[in-house]
Amino acid sequence: MNKPITRRSFLKVTGLTIAVSMTPHGYKLVNASEQKGASSFKPNLWFEITPDNKITISVGNSEMGQGVRTALPMIIADELEADWKQLKIVQGPAADPFKNPVIGAQVTVASASVRGFYEPLRKAGAAGRAVLIKAAAETWKVPEGECTALKGAVTHKKSNRTLSYGQLCLKAAALELPKNPPLKKEEQFRYMGKSMPRVDIPDKVSGKAIFGLDVNVPDMLYGAIARPPAYGAKHISFDQNAAEAVKGVRKVVPTPNGIAVIAESITAAWNGRDALKVQWDKGSHPDMSTESIEKAYAGDLDKPGAVVVNKGDAKKAIEDAPKKVEATYFVPFVAHATMEPMNCTAYVQSDRCDIWVPTQGQTGTLMTASKLTGLAPDKVHVHTTLIGCGLGRRARVDFVIDAVTASKAVGKPVKVVWTREEDLKYDAYRAATCQRIQAGLHPTGRIGGVSHKVACTSILKFTNPAAIRNGIDIYSLWGIFDWPYTPGYPLVFNHTNYDFPNWHLEQVLSDLPIPAAPWRSVQNAPNAFVMECFMDELAHAAGKDPVEFRLEHLGNNMRAKRVLQTAAEKAGWGKAMPKGKGRGIAQHACFGSYVAQVADVSVNEKDGKIKVDRIVVAVDCGPVINPDPIIAQMEGGAIESLSTALKEQIEFANGGVKSSNFDDYRILSMSEIPEFEVHIVKSKEKIGGIGEVGVPPTAPAVANAVFNATGARIRRLPMTPETVLAAMKKT
């Protein structure tokens, strides 16, 4: 009789000491007793081997183009020694084994998928391989040591016998998994470290891929929601009869996010919504506008803040220093603007609820639906579709609330579709921030002290208010400061790479009603803009080369130094640039990976237009699983970052959002795309994230390049031609 392995003993088996304290639900690598009379070998929810020699791998993370649906199976298949051709890769349900050990929820955020699952999936794959070898050895009555696994089969060379994993799977299912399976050595990797074509690409190219908006459930209705035009606005009146008289409209339903019109087609729902003619009051901040918001942030810098760091005596160090530098930076709100607008399809029945949704957060979706329907979580079925860009937006549940509420009201499946206008206006944006930073320089060019004040919107206020500690929102500080590891807190360490001998850091949280949320790298990107532009200003004030100056302040941070030096060297750092052109550098680490970028720019001094000619990237993410998607993420991260650096800003008016569509919220386009060079700096350090880490260095590298070209410091985003001209006038 095989003993079931409990969660605790599994965690001991895998040696994931971090996961033990982090993961509320843990993993069940195996429960051999459940495998009695099995029709397949399914030691866990992650993979299953069937007698037809197929291996089905379930991925619980959301695929949004980052390649997780390929990377996680590569890890399992490699350690399992499976043949890539025998794999069938499917999207997993919402289930505990898919909860990420570094986060404690099933959610694809924080560049954590590979970081979180690398060790558990390796161990699960290796345990599978070991037990398949054991099954073969027992069949042939030969020592296990004489049997080898190779591409989905076990061979006994001496007797020239081979059995496929399909032939062995039922026998393997009855065996107990080893407690300490031997992992492959790096040189034995079959898939990891080599570029494997992404498994989601063929269907995306053929047009067959199903995104959330493509979901079609029999008998499905469509929902459109009239939402308030200003923050805090309540409806005064609406014409329900007129809406319900529109051809195809079935019902008008109030929801937590507005008034839903449910109809037989999306166009009918939109016509019905127009017919509602909702009258709204002016909301909570009727005078709020783009200008008033920027003023409010600047004003926040004069309020006392929560002290985050008070190391040494920054004030005295700055006062005593012969050279002082001070600068104020501003980064506005920007939208996620995912190409697939928010949407969700739900079918609420008396005994179950099905949700088809392009979500990054299965756990959040499940819990939200359970709460809204009163059904137990195991009655809620989350079907994760492909995602037309996530960027953090889709870890929220507002669109889930829309669809579940609407379906519950009509007893039919309902697909709620947001228009682009709704998607831009009802986003939770990347938090705006205004920051003042002062430093004193020693005669040697070393930084004596730094005093830094951060005014920003709280991200946690809208996502997890209980996590705000003593007035400090750590998400909004990522890239400058992070808490040392504490249980229950996502395992990331997004702390600046620089070590200042005297350091004072304060934070003031804005009281404006504009919601903020993680936006690809959370606040690492805006904060890196401030830190890396300021380091450049200090280098200049110290009369030092920007690379040399950074290296002098990176202490023993060898990974940061190495990416910085690699990017500089590959870009030809130090060579003189022709007139009108400039070169700038920035480095940043987040989510366990280190990235440096060098930007080459041309600045038209007459019209203030910046053209970025080339970006050279160096990245160290520790062990590399699938190199080509890493390069793609570095390119894409930098391009998206460049879009916010040069163009994007959400405009506000009359207490609400004025920006409405891609005609007034411009995104970077083909003529503005630089050439790219991406260098992966190999290291044997702990594995880091990839999806977000290419974003932070771009904006500061470009701003520093503009300084190099023109002598003008740009201290605000976006770097529009007007901003550049204004900065050039000051020089």
What residue ranges bind other proteins (CB under 8 A)? 64-66, 197-198, 200-202, 204-211, 213-214, 216, 222, 247, 265-267, 337-341, 386-391, 417, 419-420, 628-629, 632, 635-640, 643, 661-663, 667-671, 673, 675-676
Q: How near is the Cβ of 88 to other proteins at its closest, in Å?
A: 19
> Furthest-apart CA pair in the chain: how many Å?
85
Q: How near is the Cβ of 47 to other proteins at its closest, in Å?
A: 25
State which amino acid sits at residue 197: P
Asked if 29 and 110 count as a contact pair (C-beta separation under 8 A), the reply is no
Q: How near is the Cβ of 419 to other proteins at its closest, in Å?
A: 6
Q: Which is nearer to other proteins, 310 or 604 (CB)?
A: 604
Specify which residues 154 forms β-bridges with. Answer: 149, 163
Q: Which is nearer to other proteins, 137 or 210 (CB)?
A: 210
Q: By C-alpha distance, which of 639, 584, 585, 580 is closest to 610?
A: 580
Q: How near is the Cβ of 629 to other proteins at its closest, in Å?
A: 8
Q: How near is the Cβ of 251 to other proteins at its closest, in Å?
A: 19
**What is the torsion angle, in degrees rounded to the nearest 10, for the CA atoms of residue 718, residue 724, residue 729 and residue 731?**
90
Q: Which is nearer to other proteins, 389 or 590 (CB)?
A: 389
Q: Tokens representing 364?
A: 């959040």
Q: Which is nearer to other proteins, 201 or 307 (CB)?
A: 201
Q: Which is nearer to other proteins, 1 or 205 (CB)?
A: 205
Q: Which is nearer to other proteins, 90 or 201 (CB)?
A: 201
* Rounded Cα distance, 344 and 375, in Å: 19
> How far apart, in Å, are the Cα atoms of 359 and each of 14, 205, 384, 408?
29, 21, 6, 20
In sequence order, what E strands does 151-303 have? 153-156, 161-164, 221-226, 235-237, 249-255, 258-263, 279-280
> How far apart, in Å, are the Cα atoms of 613 and each of 135, 303, 383, 582?
59, 41, 42, 10
* Rounded Cα distance, 59 and 47, in Å: 9
Q: How near is the Cβ of 336 to other proteins at its closest, in Å?
A: 8
Q: How near is the Cβ of 267 to other proteins at its closest, in Å?
A: 5
Question: Given CA atoms 604, 605, 610, 615 in this order, what sign does their dihedral have?
Answer: positive
Q: Which is nearer to other proteins, 206 or 486 (CB)?
A: 206
- Return the number of other C-beta atoms located less than 10 Å from residue 512's C-beta: 20
* Rounded Cα distance, 135 and 35, in Å: 14
Alpha helices in 209-338 (DSSP H): 240-244, 266-276, 290-300, 314-320
Q: Which is nearer to other proteins, 610 or 638 (CB)?
A: 638
Q: Tokens representing 53?
A: 């020699």
Residues 6+ apart with CB under 8 A from 436: 301, 326, 327, 328, 452, 453
Q: How near is the Cβ of 385 to other proteins at its closest, in Å?
A: 11
Q: Which is nearer to other proteins, 210 or 309 (CB)?
A: 210
Question: Given CA atoms 161, 162, 168, 174 in this order, what sign does their dihedral have?
Answer: positive
Q: Hunting for tokens 């280098």 — which residue is that?
A: 539
Q: Which is nearer to other proteins, 143 or 202 (CB)?
A: 202
Specify which residues 249 forms β-bridges with. Answer: 263
User: Would you call 582 exposed, middle or buried from its count of C-beta atoms within 10 A (0-12, 13-18, 19+)?
Assistant: buried
Q: Which is nearer to other proteins, 473 or 648 (CB)?
A: 648
Q: Which is nearer to other proteins, 32 or 615 (CB)?
A: 615
> Sheet harboring 221-226: ordered strands across?
249-255, 258-263, 221-226, 414-417, 343-348, 353-357, 380-384
Q: How near is the Cβ of 396 to other proteins at its closest, in Å?
A: 17
Q: Which is nearer to other proteins, 246 or 560 (CB)?
A: 246
Q: How near is the Cβ of 386 to other proteins at its closest, in Å?
A: 7
Q: How near is the Cβ of 615 to other proteins at its closest, in Å?
A: 10
* Rounded Cα distance, 468 and 580, in Å: 46
Q: Hunting for tokens 């107990």 — which residue is that?
A: 176
* Rounded Cα distance, 34 and 489, in Å: 33
Q: How near is the Cβ of 425 to other proteins at its closest, in Å?
A: 14
Q: Hunting for tokens 């949320």 — which residue is that?
A: 517
Q: Which is nearer to other proteins, 69 or 540 (CB)?
A: 69
Q: Tokens representing 318?
A: 């700055």
Q: Which is nearer to other proteins, 599 or 712 (CB)?
A: 599
Interhelix angle 698-710/627-646, rounded to 10 degrees, is 60
Q: Which is nearer to other proteins, 491 or 601 (CB)?
A: 601
* Rounded Cα distance, 57 and 63, in Å: 14
Q: Which is nearer to other proteins, 537 or 640 (CB)?
A: 640
Q: How near is the Cβ of 664 to other proteins at its closest, in Å?
A: 10
The H helix count followed by the E strand count for the chain is: 20, 26
Q: By C-alpha distance, which of 701, 563, 561 is closest to 641?
A: 701
Q: How near is the Cβ of 602 to other proteins at its closest, in Å?
A: 16
Q: Which is nearer to other proteins, 412 or 713 (CB)?
A: 412
Buried-exposed string 349-375: b where 16+ CB fall within 10 A, e elsewhere: eeeebbbbbbbbbbbbbbbbbbebbeb
* Rounded Cα distance, 352 and 344, in Å: 17
- Phi/psi zone of residue 54: left (φ > 0), alpha (ψ -120 to 50 degrees), beta? beta
Q: By C-alpha distance, which of 21, 11, 13 is closest to 485?
A: 21
Q: How near is the Cβ of 479 to other proteins at its closest, in Å?
A: 20
Asked if 578 and 601 count as a contact pair (C-beta separation under 8 A), the reply is no
Q: How near is the Cβ of 360 to other proteins at its closest, in Å?
A: 12
Q: How near is the Cβ of 671 to other proteins at its closest, in Å?
A: 5
Q: How near is the Cβ of 277 to other proteins at its closest, in Å?
A: 20
